[in-house]
Amino acid sequence: MHSTTSAPRTRRRLAFLTLLAALLLLALAQAAPVLAASRPDYTGGPVTSNSDGKADFPLYVPNDYTVSALRFTVAGSTLYDKDNNLVTTAGVQYYVKIRLSPTATPAGTLNRGFTWNPTSQTWVQEREDWTSFPIVTTVAGGAITATNTSWAYFRFGNTNDAGTYYIIVSLQPVGGGSGMTQNNASPPAITVLDTAGTIATATDGFVVHNGVATGIVAKRAELTSSAAATTVWALTRSTDTSTTAPLQIMPDVWTGAAAVSGDFALGAPVGAAFDARMQNSIWPSLASSFTGPLADVNVALGAAETTPPSAPGAPSAAAGDTTATVSWGTATDDTGVTGYVVYRWVDPPLGAAFSALPVAVHTATGTEASWTDTGLANGTTYHYLVRAMDAATNVGPRSTTVDATPVGVTALTFGATPTTVAWGKPWTLSGALSTAAGAAVPDAPVKLMQSVGGGAWTLVSTLTPAAGTSTYTGSIAAPTQKTTYKLAYEGTAAYAGAISRSVTVTPQVKLGHPVAPSTVKKKKSFNVYGSLTPKANAGSKTVKIKCYVKKSGKWVLKKTVTTKNSNKGSASQYKASTSLPSKGSWKLVASAAATSKYAATTSSPEYLKVK
C-alpha cells in the first residue's frame, strides 16, 4: 500500500520540477540582454609604441586650445556591435570620442576636451551628442588599427584648468546600443600646461610653432625631450593653412600672410630642452635642444630669431552701436614689432565645461594702436586682448583683457493732443521708440514722467506697447494745473536709454456761465454771479464779465465788469452788481485770464432783455 501511494507523489514532484526548470530557463532568456549589456570594455587606446619605440600620444597638452593628435588601436576581436555581439568582421562602425579626465575613468562634469570631426569640419565638445563625433570602422577580424591616415585630433579647451589628466578614448556603436565601449584600461596620464599664464604652477608652458614655409605639409610633427628621444612631449600633424584643417582653429594662428603652409603649434614646458622632429628627423637641425625661457609666448622655431615681443600696454575699449573700438599701448621687441593681433570672444553658455575660443579678428600693423570692430550684436559683451608679433612671427604674451558691450542708439518721440484742456477732460498721448535706423524697438515699456509747476520729475505711469510694437497711445487724466510731461526709456543691455522732448499741458479753470435775471430795466442795477473751479482766494478778482449788445445783427462789446470771489463749498462764486445802459438784447460772458497755472477760459453766454 505504501509503494502504491508514493507513485503519484513522485509524478507530481517531477512535474513541479519540470515547470520550475522551464520558468527558470524563461527567466534566464529574458535576462540575457541585461547580462549582455554588461559586456567588457574594449582594450585599446593611444598607440603605446611604434617601430621607432615612441609612444603615439602627447605627454603635454596646452590648455589654450592648441591642437594635439594621437592614433589609437584596438587589436584583436575585443569589440561589440550595437546588438552586443562580438565583432569579428570588418565594416562595423563606431563613433569615437577623445576626452581628458582628471581620473583614469570618465569623471562626469569634470571631463574636458574637443574632438575634431573631419567630415563636418567642426570641433565636437565632450558632452555633445554621440552622432556629432567622427566615425571609425573595423577592419578584418574586428579590430581598429592605427595607420598613417587614422589620426585623431583633440584639444583641451579650458584656460581655467591645468594639471594631470588622462587621455580616454571612447567608442559608441553607430545606430545605438545598450551602453558604451570605453577604453579604461590604464589610459596614459598627461600634463595640461597653463600656456595662458593664468595658473601659476611648475608646469607652465609656451607654444612652439613653425614660423617659416618649409614644405612639410601633412607630416608628423612632434617635440621630444632632448634627454629621452623616445618620449614624445607633444604630437600633431603639420597642415596646409589654405584649408580648413583643424590646426587652423586655435588662438595663435594669424590671419593673412603670417600663417604659412606646413605651420603647426605644439605646447612645451618652460625651461626644458627639447628637439623638434618631422617624420622622426630633427627639424631644423640648428634648433636641436631648444629651450624655451618664457611662458605665455609663441615661438617660431624655424625662424632665425626666436625672441618674442613684450605684451602690449593695457588695452581699453569704447562701445558704440554694433561697434567696439579697441585701443592698446605699444609693445617692444629686440628686432621691432611688426604687428598686433586682436583676439575676440564671448562667454560660453552658462555651465559649459570649456572656455570660449579667442578668435584672431584683426591683424594691425606695428604702428597702429587702435581698431574698430563692426557688425557686433548689441547687448552682447565681447572680450578682447592683444598680442604683439615680430617679423619672424614670434608672438608675445597676452595683454590684459578688456570688455565692450555695444548698445543700440534709440530715439523716443512724444506728443500730446490737445495741449490746452478743459477742466477735468483728458488729453491723448502718442509716442514711439525706434533705433537710429528707424526700426522699432518692440515690447519696450516706457515711463510717463511729469513735472508740476517746474518741480521735480515724478512717475505718472508705465506704458506698455501692443505686442510686437513700440508705439504708445493712451488717454491721460487732465492735470489740475500746468504740468510738463516727457517719456523716458531706461534701456536694456542691447539698447541705450532715451528721453523724449517735453510737452506742457495746461488746464482751463471751470467757469459756470453768468447767472442774471432774464429781464432788467435800463440803468437799473442787478446782481450777476457764477461758479469757479478750482476754489479761488476769497476777495480775489479772477473773473471778468463782458457785456455785449446786439446791433445790426452783431454782438458789440459795451462794458466789462470785474467780479469778486467768495467761497462756496468746494468751489468759489464770482459775483458783481452792474447795470446796462440801453434797451435791447444783451449777452453776458464770463472770462478768466491766463495765469502761471491755468490757460485763459471763457464761459458759455447768458442772454437777457433790457427794457
Amino acid at 298: N
Mean of the per-residue pLDDT values for the chain?
Answer: 85
Distance CA 106, CA 217 (A): 34
pLDDT average, residue stretch 505-525: 96
In this structure, which topology does domain 410-507 adopt according to CATH? Answer: Immunoglobulin-like (2.60.40)
Q: Calculate what percentage of the chain has a pLDDT beyond 90.
A: 52
105 pLDDT higher than 50: yes
Least confident of 34-38, 121-125, 313-317: 34-38
pLDDT average, residue stretch 275-286: 84
Question: pLDDT per residue over 138-194, tens digit each?
Answer: 888 888 876 656 788 899 988 888 999 999 999 888 987 666 777 767 889 999 999
116 pLDDT higher than 80: yes
421 pLDDT higher than 90: yes
Same fold, 313-403 and 510-610: yes
DSSP state of 208: E
Question: What integer pLDDT is reported at residue 254 of this predicted model?
Answer: 42
State residue 294 phi and psi, 5-degree precision: -120, 135
**Cβ atoms 165, 192 nearer than 8 A:** yes
Strands (E), 156-237: 163-173, 181-182, 189-193, 205-209, 220-225, 228-237
Distance CA 503, CA 268 (A): 69
Strands (E), 238-381: 265-269, 273-278, 281-282, 290-291, 298-300, 313-319, 324-329, 337-345, 359-365, 370-373
Question: What integer pLDDT is reported at residue 572 of this predicted model?
Answer: 93
At residue 1 the predicted structure's pLDDT band, cuts being 50, 70 and 90, is very low
**Cβ atoms 146, 72 nearer than 8 A:** yes
Question: What integer pLDDT is reported at residue 184 of this predicted model?
Answer: 65
CATH of domain 313-403: 2.60.40.10
Helix H or strand E segment including 32: helix 2-37
Question: pLDDT per residue over 44-77, tens digit each?
Answer: 888 888 777 788 889 999 888 888 888 888 877 7
At residue 198 the predicted structure's pLDDT band, cuts being 50, 70 and 90, is confident
pLDDT average, residue stretch 100-123: 89
552 pLDDT higher than 60: yes
pLDDT average, residue stretch 231-246: 71
At residue 419 the predicted structure's pLDDT band, cuts being 50, 70 and 90, is very high
Question: What integer pLDDT is reported at residue 278 of this predicted model?
Answer: 86
Q: Who wins on pLDDT, 490 or 260?
A: 490
Closest CA to 424 of 485, 475, 478, 483: 478
**Cβ atoms 412, 491 nearer than 8 A:** no
Closest CA to 495 of 414, 412, 406: 406
Question: pLDDT per residue over 434-484, tens digit each?
Answer: 998 899 999 999 999 999 989 999 999 999 998 999 999 999 999 999 999
538 pLDDT higher than 70: yes
Question: pLDDT per residue over 71-98, tens digit each?
Answer: 888 877 778 887 778 888 888 899 999 9
Q: Who wins on pLDDT, 405 or 26?
A: 405
- Whether domain 510-610 has CATH 2.60.40.10: the reply is yes
Question: pLDDT per residue over 325-362, tens digit each?
Answer: 999 999 999 999 999 999 999 998 887 888 888 888 89
Domain positions in the chain are 1-38, 45-300, 313-403, 410-507, 510-610
Query: Which cell numbers hold the place of 250?
Result: 586655435
Distance CA 570, CA 58 (A): 93
Q: Is 210 helix (H, G, I), strand (E, B) or coil?
A: coil
Distance CA 179, CA 39 (A): 9
Distance CA 288, CA 305 (A): 14
